[in-house]
Amino acid sequence: MNYPNGKKQSFRTSGKNSQEPAFGNRGMTLEEDINDTNEHYLVMNKAVIHKKPTPVQIVKVDYPKRSAATIKEAYFKQASTTDYNGIYKGKYIDFEAKETKNKTSFPLSNLHDHQVKHMKQVNEHGGISFLIVRFSLLNETFLLPSMKLFSYWESQYNGGRKSIPYSDIKEAGHLIPFKFQAKVDYLDVLDQLYF
């Protein structure tokens, strides 16, 4: 069956209800879900938010056939900042999206110092920055405002934890429910927090 976004929805073929949507493969698809959500926002003229391309320097290319070039060697030109940026209701939006299979905490090693520094700069200039964290085994996705992230980030360098406990993210963050068209409807959370 084709849906409004032009994509087919997969359904389970076994079990009691064979027409139940298949959510079993949602574990490692946060980026896909956010990209689909951003496309929905764009089509609905709600926001303009895109994934940032990673700057890469291609060094060696192999041309086995005229129609197929294969990149053999490439390097990152520079450290990238965060995954997504754009504009919503006149405000600059900038965020990083991460998944973890850990059920009890989010490891801070999933982030880089330059990303956190970038989020701080966005906040200092009046933008909105945040982290979207998906606990894939729990099928839960949270929006954690960057201001809540910063204290954990600094604490790890002063003998504190190297992760944010799931319970803390559940308390300080905001659960983003899975929806049909806006699979990761983070703008709904931003509306509650900032608008």
76 pLDDT band, cuts 50/70/90, is: low
Which residues define the annotated binding site? 81, 83, 96, 115
64 pLDDT band, cuts 50/70/90, is: confident
31-40, 73-82, 177-186: range with lowest mean pLDDT? 73-82
Percent of all residues in the chain with a pLDDT value above 70, rounded to a whole number: 82
Where do we find the tokens 């754009």? 86
Structure confidence at residue 24 (pLDDT): 40
- Interval 45-58 mean pLDDT: 85
Percent of all residues in the chain with a pLDDT value above 90, rounded to a whole number: 67
Which residues make Cβ contacts (< 8 Å) with residue 164, sequence separation at least 6? 105, 106, 108, 144, 149, 152
CA distances, 186 to each of 2, 34, 109 (Å): 25, 9, 23
Which residues define the annotated binding site for Mg(2+)? 81, 83, 96, 115
Q: Residue 6: is its pLDDT beyond 60?
A: no
Pairing of strands 140-145, 128-135: antiparallel
Q: Residue 77: is its pLDDT beyond 80?
A: no
Structure confidence at residue 60 (pLDDT): 81
pLDDT per residue as tens digits for the range 119-155: 999 999 999 999 999 999 999 999 999 999 999 999 9
The whole-angstrom separation of Cα 58 and Cα 72 is 8
Q: Residue 28: is its pLDDT beyond 80?
A: no
78 pLDDT band, cuts 50/70/90, is: low
Structure confidence at residue 20 (pLDDT): 38
- Interval 11-19 mean pLDDT: 40
Reported as type and span, the H/E element at residue 62 is: strand 56-65
Domains of the chain: 25-194 (3.40.1350.10)
